[in-house]
Structure formats: C-alpha cells, structure tokens
Amino acid sequence: MTGQPIFDIHAHTRCSRPESDDEIVVAGREAGVTRINLLGDVLAFGFFPTAEQVRAINDGTKRSLDRYPDVFTGFCFVNPENPEAFSIAEIEQRLQEDGFRGVKLESCVVARDKRLDPIMETAERLGVPVLHHAWYNIAGSSGKESTPADIADLASRFPGVQIIMAHLGGARVRGVQDIKPYPNLHIDTSGSQPMTELVEYAVSELGPERVLYGSDVPGRDYAPQIGRVAGARVSDAVKEMILYGNGARLVGL
Amino acid sequence: MEDGLDIIDVNSWVGSWPFDYHREDTAARLDSLLASEGISLAYVSTPEASLNPDYVEANRRLIRRVRRYDRFRPVPVLDPTIGGWREALSDYCEGGITAVRIIPGYHDYRCTCAEAAALVDAVEAAGMALIVQVRMADERTHHRLCQIPAAPAGDIVELAGRHPGLPIVAMCTYFHEAVKIAASATNVSFDISHIERMRTLPSLLESVPAERVLFGSHAPFLTLLSAKMKLAAPGISEADRRCIASENARRIFGAEERERA
C-alpha cells in the first residue's frame, strides 16, 4: 500500500489455531507488510499463565515461525510470576534453539516489580530487546497493567536493554513524556484507533529512531494502522524508519 | 479499488476539542485535507456542541464556517434535555438540512428516555435522518475527571425498534457493537471509523449488509487515510465498495440536495 517494506513489530497468532498463521500472512501480504513480529497468544490462558501455559504459548509462536520463516520473527513470552529458573531457561531455549529474537512481557506483574530483574538481565546478557505492554487506561485496567511511567522505571533500571513500549495510542502525550528521558526506550504505534497528531508528537519528542510501527493484529487491522503512519505529517524518510528500519534494527533483521 | 471512486465522508468535524489538538480544526484546513484525499462531500458537525450547552449557537457557528465550501453538508447537533431543539429543528428542516446528530453520552441521557423519544419523533416527522453518536473517543483514553460513557448498543436497538421507518446511523461503533445492533435492527447503518478487525470490511460484511455500511473517517480526530485504506483494502466486491463509499450516503442523507442553512 505504501510501496515500501513494512515490518510489524506487534502481532499475535493464536496458539490453538494454526490457521491464524495463514490468516495473518494473507492479511499482511494484502497490506504490503513484508515481515511480522509475533509476540505470542499472550492472553490465551488469561492474564496469569502457568509455566506450562507459557510454554504452550511459545510453542504456538514456534509453530508460526516454522511455517513462515521468511515472514515471521518471534519474541518469547514469559510471566515473571513463574519460577525464575523456568523463565530464564525458557528464554534461553527459545532464543538459542528456536530462533526467537526478543522477550515479550504483558500484564502479569507491573514493570516496577523486581521479579522482572532476572528476565531483564537475561535479555541484556543475550543482547535482545524486550517488548512490554503499557497503557494509561482510565476505564480500568485488566490484569496488572503497567503504565508508561512503570516502563520508564524499568528502562532506568536496565539502561543496557533496548525496550519497546507497546501502544502509543494508549500512552499518548503523557506516556511519551514519561519515556522521553530514556534513550533505550522505544514506542510502537499500536493502540486504539488511528488518532491524529500522535505519531508526529512521538517523532518530535523522542526522535524518529525511537518510533516503531506496530499493528496489534488480529484485534486490529493492517490498513488503518499503517494509515496512522502513512498519513502522519512526517517526511517519507521518517515514515520508512517507523515502518521498517527501526524495528528491523532492533530485532536484527 | 476503482480509480476515481466517489467517496462521501459521513463523519467529520469542524471546531476545537478540549482534550486534543487537531490540525484540521477549521473548515478551510479540513476542506483542504478532504480535497487532497479525494472526498467529494462531507457531513460535518462541530465537537463544540458536545460539551457546550448552547448547542444552537455551536451549530450556528458551524453553519457559518462551512457555508462557503461546496464540499460540506452541516449536521447540527441537538440536545433533547435542553430547550430550544424544536425551533432549531424546524429551522434546519426549512434550511434543507437532511440529518441531525444526537450525542447521548456527552449530553447525559439515554436515547431511550422520554426527552429523546420526543426529539426522535420530531426528526422522523421532518423526514430527516438521525445520527446517534455512540462515542467521541475511546473510553480508555478519556480525561480521568471527564469519563463519558458510550451510548449502549442495546439502547440503539430499542430506539430503532420504536422507529422502524427512521434511518438511523450509529456513528463510531466498534465492530462487535455494529454486529449486535445489525442483528436486531434493520434501519440502523454504521460508519467505518471505529470498526476494526483484521481484514475489517470483509469480516464486517459477513454480518452486516454492505447497504448499511458508510464511509466515515471521524476526521480530524482520526487519520483520514486510515479510513480510506480500510475502504480500499481487498476482499470485497467493487459493487459493495461503491455502496460503502458513497451510494449509501446518498440514499440515506439525500446528498443530491445542497443545503444552505
């Protein structure tokens, strides 16, 4: 649609539905999305999955990677509530043996929780990024949802880890300001409707290299989520960075 | 998508909004944006009428602002809980306006209440279409001290059932709300601004007939290009795309008429 390569840093396939791999690949192809980063079916078992359930979620991502290795990259999902040894072993196995390229954290604990520390230390040791859910949600959070201020705290504790905070649409102006002081903290453009002005604001405040395109499919759609970037009043060079270059650099494509 | 597809935007706004800055908050800038995106007509209200109790003055200012632009069709906002709407409705009808909008959440009533019923009766008698603004913005993103509920889908079903001959457009519904309403009410249509799921339109048309889906951008709150890209995406017939792009709007709002209120 935009005539350039597009890398979606934020997508989910369904671990119980292999056909969801095909659906996302087809929808992405229709929209001109060339590479898709899978974060796992992180809510398949609710907000607080057991170790066994975490493994099932990552098995689902592995299945997707095996089926479409030229399209998908994947992050390893962990729940910091689970035993530390399990989480570290899971990350090491998925990254070193299964080809995963990063770590995904959702809403199992807030990002200030010290149980994240061994996970972050593992990501730092392996040199991979961490993508963390966040939202300023005044309608009531589900699970133990982190705010952008919580993610900023995490970034300050681990300046050597590249962190991608999900959901510019949930962070908005306050969230962008929260993360601005931390150069290791990036933001993806997903979240809510394609609100105007936000991409421009994030680029202006964070610099274009810290903004990454993300869709959050299949709950969202490629076309309107690409449109929020393609329709932003930033240069074509900046759009290229957001839509592909920044994500590709962090994930190591 | 066919080249030169005629697109009518049934959901756009001119005016300021206290919670966000919008570059295209004037008629001139919105007109320029719409022109650049190939939108031939736009049904436009002012967001100022959602919070200011003097909605009649807000509508008057809107009509004055858009009058010199052929692209715009003003859609006044009415509040049935504050007097003055009968006279205003009569004036709008005489001025050739073909649709009015209600915003139950921001005006703090249910569209099933007695005051709303009186207004809707009058709208139907006037031969106009009724827009029900379900939301202005994602409820999760509201100001903490200004949390405005969405109009419940069940209320719109009930309203539609009481007025089966009245064309109603439920604006800014989510996917699941549109599917729920469509299953029970045949006289309600939906704009696409807030309807989203992977492969949005092919998915939506599995549950909602194309004749009841309208192109609406919710600009300048939302990115106009996003709505256009939804419309342009593969997976629906060109006939359905034309319905959604403009034909349904012409049928429901009588877009051939040039209102000069």
Q: Which residues of B touch A (CB under 8 A)?
A: 20-24, 137-144, 147, 193-194, 196-200, 218-230, 232-235
Cβ(B181)–Cβ(B153) under 8 Å? yes
Q: Which residues of B touch A193 (CB under 8 A)?
A: 137-138, 193-194, 196, 218, 221-222
**Which pLDDT value is given to residue A140?**
82
Q: What percent of chain A has pLDDT over 70?
A: 99
**Over 50: is that where the pLDDT of B69 sits?**
yes
**Over 90: is that where the pLDDT of A63 sits?**
yes
**Over 70: is that where the pLDDT of B255 sits?**
no
The contacts of residue A77 (CB under 8 Å, 6+ apart) are A39, A40, A42, A54, A57, A58, A61, A103, A104, A105, A106
Q: How many residues does chain A have?
A: 253
d(CA A19, CA B24): 42
Cβ(B78)–Cβ(B101) under 8 Å? yes
Q: Which residues of A touch B196 (CB under 8 A)?
A: 193, 220-221, 224
Q: Which residues of B touch A223 (CB under 8 A)?
A: 200, 226, 229-230, 232-233
**Over 90: is that where the pLDDT of A58 sits?**
yes
d(CA B41, CA B199): 26
Give the C-alpha distances (Å, rounded to integers) separating B33 from A97, A100, B7, B30.
Answer: 50, 42, 13, 5
Q: b/e for B133-155, b at 16 or more Cβ within 10 A?
A: bbbbbbbbbbeeeeebebbbbeb
d(CA B215, CA B200): 13
Q: Are B197 and A219 an interchain contact pair (Cβ–Cβ within 8 Å)?
A: yes
Q: B113-153: per-residue pLDDT in tens? A: 999 999 999 999 999 999 999 999 999 999 999 999 999 99
Give percent helix, percent strand, percent coil of chain B, each to the nearest 5. 40, 15, 45
Q: B189-207: per-residue pLDDT in tens? A: 999 999 999 999 999 999 9
Q: B96-105: per-residue pLDDT in tens? A: 999 999 999 9
- Helix or strand holding residue A131 (H, E): strand A130-132
The contacts of residue A154 (CB under 8 Å, 6+ apart) are A111, A112, A116, A120, A132, A163
Q: A73-88: per-residue pLDDT in tens? A: 999 999 999 999 999 9
Maximum separation of any 2 CA atoms in chain A, in Å: 47
**Which pLDDT value is given to residue B260?**
39
Distance from chain centroid for Cα B261: 19
Give the C-alpha distances (Å, rounded to integers) separating A64 from A7, A61, A222.
Answer: 16, 5, 19
**Over 50: is that where the pLDDT of B76 sits?**
yes
**Over 60: is that where the pLDDT of A122 sits?**
yes
How many helices, marked H, and strands, marked E, lie in chain B?
A: 11, 9
Neighbours of A142 (CB within 10 A): 12
Q: A131-183: per-residue pLDDT in tens? A: 999 999 998 877 899 999 999 999 999 999 999 999 999 999 999 999 999 99
A163 phi/psi in degrees, rounded to 5: -115, 135
E strands of chain B, at which residues?
7-13, 39-45, 72-74, 77-78, 99-102, 129-133, 168-171, 188-191, 213-214
Let me know the angle formed at the C-alpha of A99 by A97 and A104, rounded to the nearest 5 degrees: 110
What value of ipTM does the predicted structure carry? Answer: 0.94
pTM score of the predicted model:
0.95
Average pLDDT over residues A36-47: 97
Average pLDDT over residues B165-180: 98
**Which pLDDT value is given to residue B254?**
87
**Which pLDDT value is given to residue B258?**
42
pLDDT band of B257, cuts 50, 70, 90: low
Q: A229-240: per-residue pLDDT in tens? A: 999 999 999 999
Peptide bond into B220 cis (omega under 30): yes
- Mind giving me the DSSP string for A7-55? EEEEE---TT-THHHHHHHHHHHHHT--EEEE---TTBTBSS--HHHHH
Give the C-alpha distances (Å, rounded to integers) separating A136 from A139, B10, B59, B172, B173.
Answer: 9, 30, 33, 21, 22
Distance from chain centroid for Cα A51: 21
Nearest CA in chain A to B198: A221
**Which pLDDT value is given to residue B261?**
39
Q: Using CA atoms in the order A211, A212, A218, A221, what is the torsion angle rounded to 10 degrees? A: 70
Q: Among residues 86-105 of chain A, which lie with CB inside 8 Å of chain B?
A: none
In chain A the first and final C-alpha atoms are separated, in Å, by 22
pLDDT band of A187, cuts 50, 70, 90: very high
Cβ pairs bridging A and B (under 8 Å): 112
d(CA A164, CA A181): 14
Query: Domain spanning A7-251 has what CATH number?
Result: 3.20.20.140
Calculate the average pLDDT of chain A: 96
Q: Which residues of A touch B224 (CB under 8 A)?
A: 231
Q: B23-60: per-residue pLDDT in tens? A: 999 999 999 999 999 999 999 999 999 999 999 999 99
Q: What percent of chain B has pLDDT over 90?
A: 95
Nearest CA in chain A to B33: A231
**Over 60: is that where the pLDDT of A186 sits?**
yes
Residue extents of the structural domains in chain A: 7-251
Measure in Å the smallest separation between the Cα of B182 and chain A Cα atoms: 20
User: Can you name the residues that pair with B74 across neighbouring β-strands?
Assistant: B44
B93 phi/psi in degrees, rounded to 5: -65, -45
d(CA A128, CA A241): 20
Q: Are A227 and B144 an interchain contact pair (Cβ–Cβ within 8 Å)?
A: no
**Which pLDDT value is given to residue A139?**
87
**Which pLDDT value is given to residue B253?**
95
Cβ(B248)–Cβ(B231) under 8 Å? no
Query: Measured between CB atoms, does A197 come within 8 Å of chain B?
Result: yes
Give the C-alpha distances (Å, rounded to integers) separating B219 from B74, B136, B147.
Answer: 14, 11, 21
- How is residue B77 written in tokens? 């906002």
Helix A19-31 with A51-67: angle, nearest 10 deg: 50
**Over 60: is that where the pLDDT of A111 sits?**
yes
Domains of chain B: 7-253 (3.20.20.140)
**Which pLDDT value is given to residue B190?**
98
Cβ(B206)–Cβ(B220) under 8 Å? no
Burial of B68 per CB tally in 10 Å (0-12, 13-18, 19+): exposed
Q: Which residues of A touch B228 (CB under 8 A)?
A: 227
d(CA B56, CA A20): 50
Secondary structure class of A133 (helix, strand, coil): coil
